[in-house]
Homo-oligomer: A and B are copies of this chain.
Amino acid sequence: MPTFLNTRDADFEARFTALLGQKREDSPDVDAAVAAIIADVRARGDAAVLELTARFDRLELTAGGLAFSEAEIDAEIAKVSAADRAALELAATRIRAYHARQMPEDALWQEPTGATLGWRWTPVSAAGLYVPGGLASYPSSVLMNAIPAKVAGVKRLVITCPTPGGVVNPLVLLAARLSGVDTVYRIGGAQAVAALAYGTETIRPVDKITGPGNAFVAAAKRRVFGKVGIDMIAGPSEILVIADGENDPDWIALDLLSQAEHDESAQSILVTPDAAFAARVVAAVEKRLETLARRAIAGASWRDFGAVIVTRDLAEAAALSNRLAPEHLELCVADPDALSLAITHAGAIFLGAWTPEAIGDYVGGPNHVLPTARSARFSSGLSVMDFVKRTTLSKMTPEALAAIGPAAERLAASESLEAHGLSVTARLGALNGAPNGGRP
């Protein structure tokens, strides 16, 4: 059974705090193994990657076969049905249109002092996307990672995707092609992350690595962080649905189950001021669980981590949601726009009962890589911003330096950084004799 809470209960705060602190993931400690793999790839390059791929993926490759050739990709893509291709193309088009609006703007302005200030955004030069193999090899995630990179202007974009036993998902290759990915390597695990970060004879290093993966991949990303940039380390998926009593219980049940079916550690929470409606949703979940293909996974998630919280009103529901800072938040209420203004922490908000969260997973346009485990308190979903960086710009004139330089000298003195101060003093001293802008 899921957890049942009611804000009117005396022990509510204690039980809600327990829910907040609940640990849903037991990451195996693979750090030592990952450190050894990374060291091996750094030391031996391709040879290490090939050996590790043979061992972990039961796949014998040569260096020349690490990447899919264009002909191989063509052959795989040919297997995709027209309907699947059309759906993927629609998704790619919509994701591209949404992310194109995220491109940040440069700025440059002149101050009254004469100084010019501003900043300029530039793309990361090369990025690598990790795509899991097997069942979790989601073409939608390829789009969600690759399209923002390409919109940002990343010139070289590569994918690593393990192909255990040589099997690849054709839709992953199609998604890569639709997104403008340059190269797809058929390797995975910590060895793929190491190859992307440090490079080998065949695989050129990248500057940023994104994408989901298992415990080995997550540990490897943590280890190479600093050498390259990484995105977040995502935890199990979550949904919180705030619903009033005027909803179809089956719709809400399916939305809760669409997270639960991801993973036994996923979490689905219903928050409603209507206790009778809550009971109807719970019944609808049970009924759907009887037939759902992934009922074992979804049932375990719902039983172990599901929760139903009955509140006094919608305002209280919003306040609890902010404390949970959910990855996905559905507002299935009469005026979702108004309620959304009370939401301060959430990865993505789905407004109104006609917006099931699954739309956001595929075709809505916003990114489906979102902050989990309450990290929406301080972080955002994947976006174009993850593939650009800002360079600040400053340009003083002699007059501007005369105006603000003395304050810099003063502060440098207070911090005992003499050369800092002297670099200003020398210029100010030359000011009278240097009408040519300081160029002697």
Residues of A within 8 A of B (CB): 83-84, 86-88, 90-91, 94, 98, 101-102, 104, 107, 109, 115-117, 119-120, 122, 124-125, 135, 138-140, 171, 207-208, 226, 228-229, 233, 246-248, 250-251, 254-255, 257-258, 260-262, 288, 292-294, 298, 334, 336-337, 340, 343-367, 370-371, 373, 375-381, 383, 385, 389-398, 400-401, 404-408, 410-412, 414-424, 426-427, 430, 437-440
Contact = CB atoms under 8 A, between A and B. Distances in A.
A355 B408 contact: no
B117 A418 contact: no
A117 B359 CA distance: 12
A79 to B, nearest CB: 12
Contacts of A83: 410
A260 B419 contact: yes
Contacts of A391: 343, 345-349, 376, 380
Contact of A424 (B101, B261, B358): B358
A351 B344 CA distance: 40
Given A135-B416, A378-B124, A411 B88 contact: yes
A412 B389 CA distance: 34
A394 B257 contact: no
Residue in A124, A251, A367 with the greatest tally of chain B CB atoms within 10 Å = A251
B352 A396 contact: yes
Given A261-B419, A381-B392, 6 more contacts: A226-B233, A246-B439, A248-B430, A261-B420, A348-B393, A351-B393
Given A251-B423, A380-B390, A411 B362 contact: yes
A340 B392 CA distance: 11
A107 B97 CA distance: 13
A35 B393 CA distance: 40
A116 B351 contact: yes
13 contacts: A88-B411, A90-B404, A139-B411, A208-B378, A248-B430, A251-B426, A261-B419, A348-B391, A353-B437, A354-B397, A363-B404, A363-B405, A366-B392
Contact of A415 (B140, B254, B366, B401): B140
Contact of A258 (B233, B370, B419): B419
Nearest to A411: B362
A89 to B, nearest CB: 9
A301 to B, nearest CB: 11
Contact of A357 (B125, B139, B337, B423): B423
A228 B373 CA distance: 10
B344 A125 contact: yes
A383 B119 CA distance: 11
B354 A412 contact: no
A328 to B, nearest CB: 10
B122 A98 contact: no
A312 to B, nearest CB: 22
A404 to B, nearest CB: 5
A437 B98 contact: no
Contacts of A357: 423
B350 A419 contact: no
Contacts of A401: 354-355, 359
B438 A360 contact: no
A300 to B, nearest CB: 14
A190 B398 CA distance: 44
Given A226-B375, A411-B87, A359 B417 contact: no
Given A251-B438, A439-B247, A419 B298 contact: yes
B354 A226 contact: no
A63 B344 CA distance: 32
B421 A359 contact: no
Contacts of A293: 416, 418
